[in-house]
Amino acid sequence: MDAYYHRYIEESIVQSIESGKVILLLGARQTGKSTLLNHLLPENAVNINLQEYKRRLEVSMNPGVLTEIVEARNDPKTTVFIDEVQKVPELLEEVQYLYDKHKGRLAFLLTGSSSRKLKEKSANLLPGRTHLYRLYPVSQIERGRAGLLKTEYKCENPFPAQELDELLLYGSLPGILSESPEMKGKTLESYAELYIEEEIRRENLVKNIGAFSNFLQLAALESGKTVSLTKLSNEIGLSINGIKNYYQILADTHVGYFIPAYSGNSRKRLLSTPKFYLFDNGIRNACAKIGFNKEILIIDGGNLFEHWVGLELIHKTGLLGKDYGISYYRTVSGVEIDFILKTPKGLIPVEVKWTENPGRSDAKHIENFIKAENLSNRGYVICRCREPRKISEHVTALPWSHL
């Protein structure tokens, strides 16, 4: 039996269950949604696994089967787990009916890896009845490390720490952490193929699978950069609206995120084009078809490092809630700060440098931002130094392991 590692949102989900809310847990495939909720299920739970073909066919033909199964139970408290609910979104109508009819007796835990199907079917998303959660790949918080954005979370059984090279090449999906490097690469490559086959082809999200496959490879290569619709349109031979739709599919299936440009108080002319990140370094590398040889780090280590730090900050701000956010800063003239974090205590500008020996020059843009915006009093350079260093008046260099 594999070890179970606790997730940051686990305690909040338990509290929501106890308060009588329907739990809807969204996230990309293989982030651990089913593992987390199965860990919380009582032994007598009703389990509707829509990954299973026969079960999916049964409830697709007659969603009322769910009501029949649940109402056959005489237990004082019944928990219902529906895995990948977007595959039969009509089940949400049954969930609403049962929730209202048996209020307080039933607990519902639902997972989904695609918001798109739920939107397209105009599914009832149970307003007022649901607590929505998102699950990401394993974060530094879940490894017992949370330096930059402090939390009170104390993980009793954290995921094991990983070396930086492993994080940059193979990413942080929980299911691959114990695999050998060779198996990790094969698993990630299979993920990319299965995503296209099962999420895209089977769910009929696009008509031209070949064009989408080409787009996915280019989008992976461009991941972490500002979105260039014209560039991708020219390379793939697809309309700009088609490229926009493909990016939205990635966002709706939770395998990517748009990061907005900072628009604060600056008097300088700023870019407004968003950046786009695939949700995991390993998935990014698999989709880009660049392989997993460590020699890649010699050639492209800086970009992979910035990509990983970006994802870590995206996931961490997502876990911490609506009072946190992330953007990037870039002027029309090319002055850039990699990330601007919004926190309850003000903005935190963050630069990412591949260096092991950061200096004052690495803090220049952050210091200028702090003086110009007057909304921040500290900033950080995330790099490969061995311990934190104060490198300018307002800027501290942090080792990646302190992120």
> On the CB side of 136, how many CA atoms lie within 13 Å of its CA?
24
pLDDT tens for 367-403 read 999 998 888 899 999 999 999 999 999 999 999 999 8
Same domain, 389 and 248: yes
**In this structure, are strands 379-383 and 336-343 parallel, antiparallel, or unpaired?**
unpaired
- Is 145 domain-assigned? no
Note whether 122 and 168 are same-domain residues.
Answer: no
% helix, strand, coil for the chain, step of 5: 45, 20, 40
Residue 2 lies in a domain: no
* CA separation for the pair 124, 118 (Å, rounded): 8
In a domain, 3, yes or no: no
**What number of CA atoms fall less than 13 Å from residue 144's CA on the CB side?**
9
83 in Cβ contact with 50 (< 8 Å): yes
Taking the C-alpha atoms of residue 396 and residue 398, their distance in angstroms, rounded to an integer, is 6
CA–CA dist 148, 403 (Å, integer): 5
Same domain, 201 and 285: yes
Task: Determine, yes or no, domain membership for 299.
Answer: yes
pLDDT for the residue 145: 77
Whether 74 and 170 share a structural domain: no
In single-letter form, the type of residue at position 234 comes to N
Q: Which pLDDT value is given to residue 148? A: 82
Please give the full DSSP string across 2-41, using - where no structure is assigned.
PPP---TTHHHHHHHHHTTPEEEEE--TTSSHHHHHHHH-
Last residue of a domain, one of 95, 116, 134: 134
Residue corresponding to tokens 């008097």: 267
Q: What does the pLDDT look like over 329-359, one tens digit per residue? A: 998 888 899 999 999 989 999 999 999 999 9
Domains of the chain: total: 2
What's the pLDDT at 122?
A: 46
Q: Does residue 339 contact residue 326 with C-beta atoms inside 8 Å?
A: yes
Q: Which contacts of 323-329 are long-range, i.e. CB under 8 A and separated by 24 or more positions?
A: 324/149, 326/259, 327/259, 327/260, 327/261, 327/262, 327/263, 328/259, 328/260, 328/261, 328/262, 328/275, 329/261, 329/262, 329/266, 329/270, 329/369
Q: In whole angstroms, how far apart are CA 86 and each of 104, 159, 216, 336, 360?
A: 25, 29, 22, 39, 50
297/174 same-domain check: yes
In a shared domain, residues 56 and 127:
yes
**Cβ neighbours around 312 below 10 Å, total:** 23
Mean residue pLDDT across the chain: 91
Whether 9 contacts 118, CB under 8 Å: no
Let me know if residue 341 belongs to a domain. yes
What length does the chain have?
403
Does residue 351 form part of some domain? yes
Q: Is residue 157 assigned to a domain?
A: no
Please indicate, yes or no, whether residues 122 and 194 belong to a single structural domain of this protein.
Answer: no
Whether residue 1 is contained in a domain is answered as no
Q: What is the pLDDT of residue 267?
A: 61
DSSP 8-state assignment for residue 141 = G
Q: What does 280-349 look like in DSSP terms, one character per residue?
A: -HHHHHHHHT----THHHHHHHHHHHHHHHHHHHHHHHHHH-TT-EEEEEEBTTS-EEEEEEEETTEEEE
pLDDT one-digit tens code per residue, 237-258: 999 999 999 999 999 999 999 9
**Domain CATH for 34:** 3.40.50.300
CB 309 within 8 A of CB 293: no
Residue 372: per-residue pLDDT = 86
Indicate if 266 and 376 belong to the same structural domain: yes
Q: What is the pLDDT of residues 85-132, one digit of tens each?
A: 999 989 998 999 999 999 889 999 999 998 877 765 545 567 778 899
What Cα–Cα distance (Å) separates residue 371 from each residue in 59, 270, 327, 376? 60, 17, 18, 8
Give the domain extent around 276: 162-403
pTM > 0.85 = yes
